[in-house]
Amino acid sequence: MSFQAPKGTFDWLPPKSEQILAVRAALAQPVRQAGYGYIETPSFEDTELFARGVGESTDIVSKEMYTFPDKAGRSLTLRPEGTASVVRAVLQHNLHTGQLPVKLWYSGSQYRYERAQRGRYRHFWQVGAEALGAEDPALDAELIVLAARGFADLGLTQVELLLNSLGDKVCRPVYRAALQDFLRGLDLDDDTRARIEINPLRVLDDNRPEVRAQLVGAPLVVDHLCAPCKAYHEEVRALLTEAGVAFTDDPRLVRGLDYYTRTTFEFVHGGLGSQSAVGGGGRYDGLSEMLGGPALPSVGWAVGVDRTFLAMEAEGLLGETTEARVQVYGVALGDDARRRMFLLVDEVRKAGISADMAFGGKGLKGAMKGAGRSGARFALILGERDLAAQAVQLKDLTTAEQTEVPLAQVVDVLKGKVQ
Ligand code: HAM
């Protein structure tokens, strides 16, 4: 074999690829039902959009972006996430001057140059939802409820919701300073010391045991929330409780993107090992202004489709992947019969019945093998003699029962049998 998919990427092949389509559709269904409109943005943007939007100090921007110059010398980047692009599109097309909030959802590839491992890929797929232009705890709660419903509709029962608030531009700087004071007193390596000055919240995310042990007494953002942030967070919590969505307060939950304010959350699954987050999101009240727009308080999430699939696998929800691709399979013998079969199969499809046929001039045995593999219930067999009689043999592949049907009636007969 000469080529392989690049490191950290993989192919979705039939029949699993059918299941991934179903997973994407199921994740999107709850937000569609809640009035979120579909948006597609380009898979690359100006590098500066992500540098400013996601944040220079994040791993995503500093280490993981696929950045390249185009032929005119512009710096472009394959999108590492969807939120910055959605905000860019809303501002560019003035959607925020109409009815607020602007509610949008998307589904697409994302690209991050990460250390590849199970559940962590360099090319992966997200379904996401964003609500822009409203500061309302009910909107945060709505989005969380809808994401939880997507997981539940897929049959997942072991997805856990972690919830936190990161405060706002009033209380976060005070907290940040208190955290920095605390962290500067610890015994840490140089890289981590540097991180204290750039992005101290990320230090809380450090999973190394020797660091974790020292973080036990770290100040927590919940203890530093200003009164409005506290009230906002309590309301989100109350609404989730009333909606019956279970959550765990996680005062150490920090997200890997800089734009978050107030509500932040993550959906995690125990069956995924170290890459446990199946989805995440939160409020990003300052992002629009960071991108040169007006104040546009907003909230959203993205769910990792590939990880959701792994979670379903871990819960044994995917079942047998039988390749029942079509309902009817055409087998023709001889050139004239093949030509007639080509048209007949198309007539069957036009009648709303899925159908395939043997290609490549196979003999009867090979073609019947194809019929068996196709998962079809019925085979249509057409030989030269049938063609002369303007009839076709209809074979029920489950009972091996075979009947002759006039060509002119075969579509109607099939309609009666398969629907
Ligand atoms: P994120 O937490 O970076 O947030 O990604 C969301 C989800 O995408 C993760 O929970 C995970 O399931 C999946 N994911 C991330 N990286 C990878 C990877 N390398 N391989 C496989 N799956 C991955 C965001 O992207 C934000 N834009 C979410 C958001 C929307 N916040 C507000 N609105």
Angle in degrees, 0-180, between the axes of helices 227-242 and 137-153, rounded to the nearest 10:
40
Cα separation, 145 vs 31, whole angstroms: 10
- List the Cα angle 187/191/195 in 5-degree steps: 90
Grade residue 322 by pLDDT with cuts at 50, 70 and 90: low
Ligand 1 atom nearest to 112, measured from its CA: 19
Find residue 301's DSSP bridge partners. Answer: 129, 281
- Strands 37-38 vs 102-111: parallel, antiparallel or unpaired: parallel
Q: What is the pLDDT of residues 189-241, one digit of tens each?
A: 999 999 899 889 989 888 899 999 999 999 999 999 999 999 999 999 999 99
- Residue 210 main-chain phi, psi, to 5 deg: -65, -30
Following DSSP, what letter does each residue of 184-232 receive, concatenated? HTS---HHHHHHHHH-HHHHTT---HHHHHHTTT---GGGG--HHHHHH
Probe ligand 1: pick from 50, 124, 296, max atoms within 8 Å of CB? Answer: 124
Probe ligand 1: pick from 81, 103, 278, max atoms within 8 Å of CB? Answer: 81
In this predicted structure, the answer to whether residue 404 has a pLDDT above a threshold of 70 is yes
Residue type (1 letter), 234: E
H runs (alpha helix) in 41-156: 47-53, 59-63, 83-92, 137-153
In this predicted structure, the answer to whether residue 317 has a pLDDT above a threshold of 70 is yes
Model pLDDT, residue 258 = 83
Model pLDDT, residue 231 = 98
Average pLDDT over residues 47-65: 93
Q: What is the pLDDT of residues 258-289, one digit of tens each?
A: 899 999 999 999 999 888 999 999 999 999 99
Residue 315 DSSP symbol? T
Model pLDDT, residue 413 = 97
Probe ligand 1: pick from 110, 118, 162, 298, max atoms within 8 Å of CB? Answer: 110
Cα separation, 414 vs 327, whole angstroms: 10
Residue 98 DSSP symbol? S
Q: What is the pLDDT of residues 120-150, one digit of tens each?
A: 999 999 999 999 999 999 999 999 999 999 9
Q: Which two tokens stand for residue 84?
A: 């910055």
Following DSSP, what letter does each residue of 56-82 receive, concatenated? TTSHHHHH--EEEE-TTS-EEEE-S-S
Model pLDDT, residue 199 = 87
In this predicted structure, the answer to whether residue 321 has a pLDDT above a threshold of 70 is no
Model pLDDT, residue 7 = 97
Of the candidates 45, 50, 105, the one whose C-alpha atom is nearest the C-alpha of residue 256 is: 50
In this predicted structure, the answer to whether residue 403 has a pLDDT above a threshold of 70 is yes
Q: What is the pLDDT of residues 62-107, one digit of tens each?
A: 999 999 999 999 999 999 999 999 999 999 999 999 999 999 999 9
- Global pTM value: 0.94
Probe ligand 1: pick from 307, 309, 310, max atoms within 8 Å of CB? Answer: 307
Give every strand in the sheet of 44-46, ordered side by side: 44-46, 75-78, 66-69
Averaged pLDDT of the chain: 95
Report the run of H or E that residue 265 belongs to, with start and end. strand 261-269
Q: Range with the lowest mean pLDDT among 28-42, 309-323, 331-345, 378-392?
A: 309-323
Domains located in the chain, CATH noted: 16-171+225-314 (3.30.930.10), 328-418 (3.40.50.800)
Model pLDDT, residue 37 = 98
267, 147 in Cβ contact below 8 A?
yes
Model pLDDT, residue 187 = 93
* Distance between Cα 388 and ligand 1 center (Å): 62
Residue 120 DSSP symbol? B
* Distance between Cα 328 and ligand 1 center (Å): 41
Ligand 1 atom nearest to 256, measured from its CA: 3
Model pLDDT, residue 323 = 59
Ligand 1 neighbours by CB, cut-off 6 Å: 81-83, 112, 114, 120-121, 124, 126, 128, 130, 256-257, 277-282, 284, 300-302, 304, 306-307
Q: Is the dihedral of CA 226, 231, 233, 234 positive or negative?
A: positive
* Distance between Cα 34 and ligand 1 center (Å): 22
Q: Whose CA is nearest to atom 15 of ligand 1?
A: 304
Q: Range with the lowest mean pLDDT among 182-196, 315-329, 347-361?
A: 315-329
- List the Cα angle 376/381/387 in 5-degree steps: 150
